[in-house]
Homo-oligomer: A and B are copies of this chain.
């Protein structure tokens, strides 16, 4: 993760790492004037949130994303997450979005914090590349004129028969409650992945992956 951070060009405030790690990254650390301290594995274990910390911990300033509705976001697919709660799901969704070249992620204020350590870990580095914005989703959709919005909802149209716009908002709802009724009514299309077996639903990150995989086909 910390290597990915350095590759992404984002600034680390300070890096604490084992001797060997600093040695392997010495050029990057010095070229970019990144403050760093060599520590031993005992201290690493104390300062890390992981049960078995790897080699290094970085302190990074949170992205303070100010975005107003007037600002043009450009073309592409954006994800819209309505009250997604599970950190593992959120992390996997950010990673999946990064794989499929999603342009950014909008989260409702109640959605899990992207800086939750479990989220950060599950993104496998994609958190440093994926822009995200915590906004009022109803206001977002009410003011949207540029994108076609697709809500993932049970009972929606068969996704295999949908011709997706390349300028799209894909809306994913809460793990148990789905998308709120109010938001659902603001979406132009309701889409669903056909069920061939007996499970009651799909995991939110898996459903998001299936939909992005079909949107990009």
Question: Interface on A for B, CB 8 Å cutoff?
Answer: 88, 92, 95-102, 122, 124-126, 129, 160, 193-203, 205-210, 212-214, 216-217
Contacts and interface: CB of A to CB of B under 8 A. Distances in A.
Given A205-B203, A209-B210, A210-B210, A196 B101 contact: yes
A98 B198 contact: yes
A199 B160 contact: no
A206 B126 CA distance: 15
Given A92-B203, A95-B203, A202-B96, A101 B209 contact: no
Contact of A213 (B129, B200, B203, B213): B213
Contacts of A98: 197-199
Contacts of A206: 92, 95-96, 205-206, 208-209
Nearest to A99: B199
A203 B96 contact: yes
A156 to B, nearest CB: 15
B209 A95 contact: no
Contact of A207 (B122, B201, B209): B209
A193 B213 CA distance: 8
B88 A197 contact: no
13 contacts: A88-B88, A92-B206, A95-B199, A99-B195, A99-B202, A100-B196, A101-B197, A102-B197, A122-B203, A124-B201, A206-B206, A210-B210, A214-B214
B100 A197 contact: yes
